Structure 1
Amino acid sequence: MGIVSAGFAILAGLISLPILATTGISLALICTIALVLMGNRQNWRQLKGLQNALENKDSSTKPVRTKVESRASGKLPRIGAAFDHVHRIQARRADYETFALRSRSVVLRDSFALAATDNRFKYEDLTRFVAVQRLEMLGSLSRSDLKQWNHTAFLALARIQVNQRAVEGDLENAVRYFEFAETVLRASFRPTDRLLYLEALGDLFRFAEQSELVTRYGIADRYPLQVTLMQLNAVQNSHGAVSAEWLDLVNGIYKTRNLSSIEFTSNIDKKPLDRLYSKPARLLSGPLVTVIVPTYQGGAQLLTALGSLLQQSWQDLEIIVVDDASGPDYQKYLEQAASLSPKIRVIKQEQNLGAYCARNIGVKAAHGEYITVHDDDDWSHSDKIATQVQHLMANPEIPGNMSAHIRTSEELKLLRINVKPLLTQPNFSSLMIHRETFNAIGAWDEVNKGADSEFRDRLEKYSGVPVEVLDEVPLGFTRTHQGSLTSGEVSRGYVAPNRRLYLEAFTRWHEETGRDPDALKPSKTQNYPVPTSMRPGWRNADLGIFDVVFMTDFRFPGGTTSLTLAEIRAASQSGFRVGYIHEESPTNRSQSRIAQELFDMQLNGEVHQIALEDSADIRLLVARHPVVAQFLDNRNTNLRVQQTVLIVNNPPVLHGGSGMVFDLPICVQNLDRLFNTRCKVIAESGVTQRLCKGIISTDRLSNITWPGLITLRKVDEPDFTNVPILGRHSRDHKLKWPSKINDFHAAYTSSDYQTRFLGGTDALVTKLGPETIRDKIVYKFGTKDVQVFLDEIDFWVYYHDDKLTESFGMAIAEAMAAGKVVILPPYLETNFGDGAIYSDPSGVKDIVVKIWNDPDSYRTQAHRATAYVHEHFSMNAFVKRITSLIGVSTKD
């Protein structure tokens, strides 16, 4: 009876909601629901949880709390990273959705849920709400009840669950979200939403519902092939692929294109994929085509691939199998391969270097007029080669072509591996080009993965014409193991960081070289940096011992990245073996570019790229920005780390409780779990250290600080007979300028000095008006080198918005290192000591006039500035800090 009593109590709480208070729920309905609760403890738990969530939410509107919550906005601030990312998601939903898939973070779902529900529910509460509503235990929800909900963010959360499948129940919950969005929110579905909804239903074996929605959505009108492929999966589930029903469906696809039918061999000991057989309807002849098949421990699956090539309707074939040092256990399969046909030639490599090195060996041995490739465990339709070679013969201006493929399990369950919601995809392992093209642009980049895209892009760059994908009908079946969909390097929106780094590096090289074929050719001297584990022979290799590794998002603008790069260079020059881990932050746009200086340093051997998936020993790992640790909740690593430090280089909270893009305790928890260490937190400055003390436990917080690294240089004395020049340089953001126009003019406008600005003035004019730059010299950022600008000025003065708290201030340190008299807000004295002068904006004019009229005072303050930089921000100070940390291990 405890459950029944609880059920009535919960119902009483729910009836208090405005949407149910007027419905007059009858005793019969109450009894019915009580019986449901008695029979279903899970429903009871969900409803109890919903009641708690609603009570917590509703308590904020009770009259007794009104006075307590009274503020200018009428509400207490919502504090925490989950809330702080909400407005960013609403403004940049696509970037955040991309980040969720790239990072595999589950924690980020809270922010999406808050963004979807007008800050009412985090993810678990929202999921519970949707589940209980589907049980029809909330009564009818009117659109006015949910009018503030954000449909775009809600549907994004549904898509994230379909793609991630990170926790148990994701698919079921995604279906409930889609149902709720359609029936309750009346949200507009995009094609991607519909396709993912249908995919989720199919993967839950709810094929009848899937078929009903296919009809209602009219999917067959726009995606007829996708509908047939979904039907194939339904038949595979009910009858198995080796069935007349499955063959009828798949051959229907090929008959529409006048392609040969396929069937199964009679060998029941093989998997369905290995039993596929396609007898060509007609045999064709023409130019010789070389098919290069790299293989590494292909085993019996190699014979499947070669069998499909020997069934091709194009008769003039040369098949070159390049064995990538598979070892003696696989010798028998190579001997069998060579015995299948005189068309097959086997070449053996002594060292395992990867598929692209093997392909290049095959190109050198090839005699064909056209060359294509084939993976060693895939199956190809008998008309694949003929379709592609005839297209190239008919279109000589086309640089190359590809056919389409589908990924499939060995049981012929069709699968999707990337973020595109269609089962058919371009098959990069089917690229066919004219032999002469290799002479023009060179062969494949000899990395151990990811070079298909580079070669295709290089080919298009050279020719100025895109590589064509011939139709969407799949002419290849690509063997895909189920585990690779969740733990592989490419998985429904997740792409391993080293692959993304490689993509950006070669893309920049293509942009720089233009269409010059000589420049485009790969050379023995690498043209762009390649991730360490992607070099030939280094796949899955242990990368050795690193003294220090810096982990951050190297797309951060301004000083955040330049400081880290300076530290990498200083550590490398001091003899440390240095690595970097690029982990992204959602605060950067998904298309933001990585600092070119990082690639240059990597290419020069100053730093090595490392990924969490690599194997290496690291003495000190420096997480250089907390936000990159915030979303490591669902990541794992093979790295062996002795000590981890987290550098807090931004205030953990701003005035009013905003600006919390990271929660320090969560960051520390993630780093502890991931690297199996007890992470130490080091603030960038005294200002930030003080703010951290109220958020993180004191035993985690180091008593040292981690300021920026500045290089001192020779300083020339100013000419005191001239009018002094006051200036500043900063990035373009409204918070970098004073809140009030009076404060701005007090600091920067005077007849006693000239004022110059480098950067940031677009935001200034937008914020305070065009009169702010009248009678001042303004340089756009990037039009003048910072050091050249600093040589022009005598005083460097910085005042910002009242809402902003500077953690450190790289630009400030640069001005001090240049021997300028620096004037700052008083709170920054904690960071810069006697290296600067502190005042309110109203005091700037008097300070400038007084010091300029007393050259000795100017020289004294300039010396204090450079001395402070040398003691606290110099390379020597940085190296001492690194050395002391490497010498101490905090391994539990």
Structure 2
Amino acid sequence: MSGTDRDRFTLTRGDLLYDYADRTRKHRGVVAACVTRHASTQYLDILASQCAGVGIAWADLRERLVRQMSGVNEWASPRDALAQAEIGRVLLLNPTDKLDEELAVFMLEDSIARFPRGGSSKRFRLLLVHYYILHGHRAAAQRSMRRWKDIRTLEFGYLTGELYHPVRTEDPAEHELWLDHFNASLRAYDRAPVSLIDGDSALFDRLAADRDELSTTHDEAATSGGEMPLVSVVVAAYRPGRDEFLTSIRSIVEQSFLSLEVIVVDDGSGSGWSNLFEDAQSFDPRVSILRTSSNRGAYAARNLGFRSARGKYVTGQDHDDWSHPERMQAQFEYMEANPDVSGCRVRGIACNSDLSRLRLGYPSIVRNASSLMMRTSDFLAAGGFVEIRKAADTEFAERLGILTGSPVVDLPDPLTIVRIADNSLSRDEFKVGWNHPARRQVKSAYRYWHSSSRHLELRMSPEQELPFSVPRRYRSQLRTEEGSFDVIVVDDWRGFSGSVAHRLAEIRELVDIGLSVAVLHLESPQWMTTTIHPLDADIQSLINAGTVSEVLYDDEVSASVLLISDPRILQFMPDAESLVSADRILVVADSPPADREGRHIQYSVNDCNTNAVTKFNVHPVWVSRGPFVRDFLEKAVEGNRIHPHDLLPSIDESEWVDARSRRRRSPIPVVGSTASRSGRIWPASRPALTATYPLDGSLDVRFRGEITGAMQLLGLPSTPPAWIVYPPEALSEADFLSSLDFYVHTGDPSVSIDGVNEMLEAMASGVVVIAPPSYKRIFGDAVLYAGGGEVSTVVFTYHKDIELYEAQQRKASAAVATRFSVRQFGRHMRALVLDGLPEARGTHE
């Protein structure tokens, strides 16, 4: 399937899945990461194809695996063990039914048995042990941990302890073993072990520590606590549960470090909770209560408490967590011993109310963001937390590190026990491998603010408006008009492709002509990654400035036009239906789904149409970025639902005036080209390459970007002496173009128009462009045309004759200012918004 040419007009979904499986095979983990990060089982089809070695949907592979699990083996050759294990892990973490769960365990057990010795199987083995313990398969868990020392000793052997947890055994002797293993994490750092007081409450609310086992150093420090600097501890709460709240406050007043004040902020809980807060205050005279008139959110309440602090140091605690008696002493001593450190946090043992540390797929020891201790003066100078609903802890810690010149330090000691509650405010925003996109959105926004601002601008005032874009779900209030837009532009906005600058110019034009614009970030499968990346800095700048809004897939917003800038966005979509609604969907295709030979398939028109309808409830209209894409769409789009006019690539020519003004003609013609990140098509052979870009020094040849493909054709170990190659970070595109006389492009516009943007930039910069004759359908007389062997002749002819050269410059400038101007794009889009889509040829049923 991979080695033969295909008819690109009759490609199957199996062909597409095989190609994606083949391309991602060398980058293991990226597909599984996309399944979980996008909450998309459509990506499972790629893993299924990797597993089976053929293009196959997960549903079909699943049927065959279920039969094998029942004893019927239909496999002629072994399956890919790693791909199978990744599928098993995804299923076990997110099973849809009992059969999925059983199948996941079968797949993991089978894969692990087939992994080579020393293979990277730990995360799969760990998940399997988690499952065994949680589902009462004690013998299987014990057998596995005897075999796997790395799992048995993980996090001080807590998994062995979980076998003896009171919820899993009724033997009191085993309960003692459980508590002993629980305390191993504390003993490892020479901290006093915890015990349980008698009572009927949840185990978490019976926590205590034996003060007799606190170290002598701590006891001596405690006896002189009155002479020590004060530490302020702030606990904000809104309608807390009684037991969990009092447990939290009790853990603070029982600290070995005595020089404390405890500021409890009642965040508008109401009169029904007054007695509870008064009970907390009665624990100790060091406890005071502050009240807000209404619920303002956790970070507004914390700001109130932190700004009221009298201590040299200030720290926080969540209202349902528990602090080990040595926590404040440890953090205080660290801060005193390290005056240049901005702050420190401790780690937490994550547990449910029964003190079980076992959560499928999660570690049991985590960073505790709310435990940050800092100098009160530094907190006040930074201006406090941004008052949003979530995620402000991490933002503040990073900003504090920038302002003080010293990042926050994470101490290794697990001196808090973090309650993982089913009704937690953040519970619905985290799963293994998945964070709600709002987390990425806010982190991208505040990190851009941090990196683009002077220190003075990072010092917030209490009444200051939010300095960066905040997800709708994290804001306290929304204006009605913020939910409706003229255009929502959907794209992968991480900046991996070379087209982001042109997309931005088009967005600015839409704003300039008076349209309300939002952007929606959905990742393209062309750029699969294992980790989350921020948005491109330029688009983030527009978002933070309020020029455009950013909306999320599950925001309840609407638009006249949903402009999907790349069909690949629609290829593998989240399972859930989007809450974004639109009157019309426009799918802009800048390349056919595959190359001429039907290879390197990027998208399926049918899949894209189906996903547009099922996820957005609108039948899309397709629009081509040029005549070659239209040739394909007219044969491939069902019912010929194609916009009658091409939406040509566009450029804001005013952005390239400076490059034009700095151009200087050279005695030897300077020719060059940009190798964009999205790749390029080089001439097919070494002779064709050297005819286009000579090696003999007759032309001054320059490139910007990666030329690996060219070097492979040349068969040389290093760059030829006659060529100069600039890394993109060493030279801007404008500076590069200002050094050229001719921009020489090789490629095939019937496959991709990725290079067209770079050609437009060269034309706008006053550089004469030379391209293969096939580009004439796009550019007309604005470009010179030559085959590989003719390039030098064209170059010397136009370099010798300045009038001829300048005449060609004028033709290119005229085309850029009219047909390819971003103003033309704006006129087209305004017509679509105000007048609706022109009648498409045919219908899409």
| TM-score bucket (shorter structure) | 0.7 to 0.9
CA contact (8 A) 2:443 2:534 kept: no
Q: Is 1:215 aligned to residue 146 of structure 2? A: yes
- How far apart, CA to CA, are the structure 1 residues paired with 2:260 and 2:173? 32
- Is contact 1:553-1:582 (8 Å) kept? yes
Code of the aligned partner of 1:249: W
Counterparts of residues 116-127 of structure 1 (less than 5 Å) = 116-119=51-54, 122-127=57-62
- Partner of residue 178 from structure 2, selected from 227, 249, 258: 249
Aligned to 2:841: none
1:226 pairs with one of 128, 150, 158: 158
Q: Matches of residues 327-476 of structure 1 in structure 2 within 5 Å?
A: 333-334=276-277, 337-338=280-281, 341-350=284-293, 352-381=295-324, 384-386=327-329, 388-389=331-332, 392=335, 399-410=342-353, 414=357, 416=359, 421-438=362-379, 443-459=384-400, 462=404, 464=406, 467-472=409-414, 475-476=416-417
In structure 2, the residue matched to 1:488 is: 428
The alignment-based identity, stated in percent, is 24
Matched-pair contact (CA < 8 Å) for 2:494–2:534 = yes
1:884 correspondence with 2:831: yes
Aligned to 2:231: 289
Distance 2:275 2:641 in 1: 59
- What is the one-letter code of the residue matched to 1:295? A
Structure-2 separation of matches of 1:756 and 1:813: 20
Higher mean Cα deviation, 120-129 or 98-107?
120-129
Q: TM-score, normalised on structure 1?
A: 0.79
Q: Hey, what does 1:50 align to over in structure 2? A: none
How far residue 350 of structure 1 moved from its aligned partner, in angstroms, is: 4.4
CA distance in 2, matches of 1:517, 1:855: 51
Match runs of 1:439-838 below 5 Å: 443-459=384-400, 462=404, 464=406, 467-472=409-414, 475-481=416-422, 488-507=428-447, 521-522=459-460, 529-533=468-472, 537-538=476-477, 543-588=482-527, 589=529, 590=531, 594-713=535-654, 725-731=670-676, 735-749=680-694, 754-760=699-705, 762-763=707-708, 764-769=710-715, 774-775=721-722, 779-800=726-747, 805-806=752-753, 809-838=756-785
Give the C-alpha shift of residue 196 in structure 1: 1.2
Give the partner amino acid of 1:250: L
Post-superposition Cα deviations, 1:79-132, rounded to whole Å, max 9, x if no partner, equal 644222223322222343333321122111221232234337543444444443
Q: Indicate conservation of the 8 Å contact 1:737/1:801, yes or no.
A: no
The answer on whether the counterparts of 2:262 and 2:286 sit within 8 Å (CA) in structure 1 is yes
> What's the offset of the Cα at 1:292?
0.9
**Separation in 2, partners of 1:308, 1:210:** 34
Q: CA deviation at 1:445?
A: 3.8
Shift of 1:326: 4.3
CA contact (8 A) 1:629 1:667 kept: yes
Partner of 2:102: 172
**Does the 8 Å CA contact 1:821/1:862 hold for their aligned counterparts?**
yes
Contact 1:542 1:614 in 2 (8 A): no
Q: Greater shift after overlay, 732-741 or 99-108?
A: 732-741
Letter paired with 1:365: S
Relative distance call for 1:749 and 1:138 in structure 2 (3 A) is: closer
SS class of match (2:505): helix
CA distance in 1, matches of 2:703, 2:770: 17
Q: Distance in 2 between matches of 1:549 and 1:706?
A: 17
The answer to whether the 8 A contact 2:622-2:642 is kept is yes
Say which SS state the counterpart of residue 631 (structure 1) adopts.
coil
Is 2:816 the partner of 1:869? yes
Query: What is the rounded CA distance, in whole Å, between the counterparts of 1:804 and 1:876 in structure 2?
Result: 27
From the superposition, tell whether residues 700 and 533 of structure 1 become closer, same or farther in structure 2 (CA, over 3 Å): same
Query: Which of 249, 252, 276 is the matching residue for 2:206?
Result: 276
Which has the higher relative contact order, 1 or 2, with Cα contacts under 8 A spaced 6 or more apart? 2
- Tell me which of 157, 167, 170 is aligned to 1:236: 167
What is the CA–CA distance in structure 2 between the aligned matches of 1:415 and 1:482, rounded to whole Å?
18
Q: Which amino acid aligns with 2:548?
A: V
> Hey, what's the Cα distance between the residues in 2 that align with 1:151 and 1:523?
56
Given that 1:441 and 1:518 are in contact with CA atoms closer than 8 Å, whether structure 2 keeps it comes out as no
TM-aligned CA distance change 1:402 to 1:716, over 3 Å: closer
Normalization by structure 2: what TM-score? 0.83
Which digits, 9 at most, give the CA deviation of each residue in 1:597-640, with x for residues without a partner? 12222233222222223333333222222233322232444333
Which segment drifts farther, 449-458 or 559-568? 449-458
Which residue identity does 2:713 align to in structure 1?
A: K
> How far apart are residue 845 of structure 1 and its match?
4.5
How many Å separate the matches in 1 of 2:600 and 2:234?
55
Q: What's the secondary structure of 1:737's corresponding residue?
A: coil
SS at match of 1:356: helix
TM-superposition CA deviations, 1:429-484 (whole Å, max 9, x none): 22233434435655334443222223334455546466233434x63131321798
CA deviation map 1:39-89 (0-9, x unaligned): xxxxxxxxxxxxxxxxxxxxx9xxxxxxx9899xxxx99964422222332
CA deviation after TM superposition for structure 1 residue 759, in Å? 0.8
- What amino acid maps onto 2:634 in structure 1? K
**Cα–Cα, structure 1 residues 222 and 583, in superposed 2: closer, same or farther, change >3 Å?**
same
Change (3 A) 1:629 1:343: farther
Aligned with 2:389: secondary structure?
coil
**Structure 1, gaps ≥5 residues long:** 1-59, 61-67
Deviation at 1:179, TM superposition (A): 0.9
User: 2:200 maps to what in 1?
Assistant: 266
**In 2 relative to 1, CA 449–244 (structure 1 residues): closer, same or farther, beyond 3 Å?**
farther
Contact 1:653 / 1:659 at 8 angstroms: preserved in 2?
A: yes
Question: Counterpart of 1:615 in structure 2: which amino acid?
Answer: E
Tell me the residue number matched to 1:161: 91
Distance 2:665 2:4 in 1: 57
Q: Distance in 2 between matches of 1:838 and 1:539?
A: 55
Deviations 1:542-597 (A, max 9, x none): 84322222222222335321122112222222222222222223433437653221
| Residue of structure 1 aligned with 2:46, choices 106, 111, 116 | 111
1:508-531 per-residue CA deviation (whole Å, 9 max, x = no partner) reads 666678xx9767644677897333
**Residues 299 and 330 in structure 1, CA contact (< 8 A), matched pair in contact too:** no
Q: Distance in 2 between matches of 1:182 and 1:396?
A: 49
Q: Pairwise CA RMSD of aligned residues?
A: 4.2
Distance change in 2, residues 1:277/1:798 (3 Å): closer
Amino acid at match of 1:866: S
Q: 1:237 to 1:675 in 2, by over 3 A?
A: farther
User: Is the Cα–Cα contact under 8 Å of residues 340 and 406 in structure 2 kept in the other structure?
Assistant: no
Q: Distance in 1 between matches of 2:829 and 2:103?
A: 47
- Corresponding residue for residue 90 of structure 1: 25
Amino acid in the other structure paired with 1:533 = R
How many residues align structurally? Answer: 805
Write out aligned runs for 1:23-102 (5 A): 80-102=15-37
Deviation of the 1:492 alpha carbon: 0.9
Q: In 2, Cα distance between the equivalents of 1:238 and 1:541?
A: 55
Give the conservation status (yes or no) of the 8 Å contact 2:195–2:208: yes
Q: Is the 8 A contact 1:293 1:359 kept in 2?
A: yes
Distance 2:235 2:152 in 1: 37
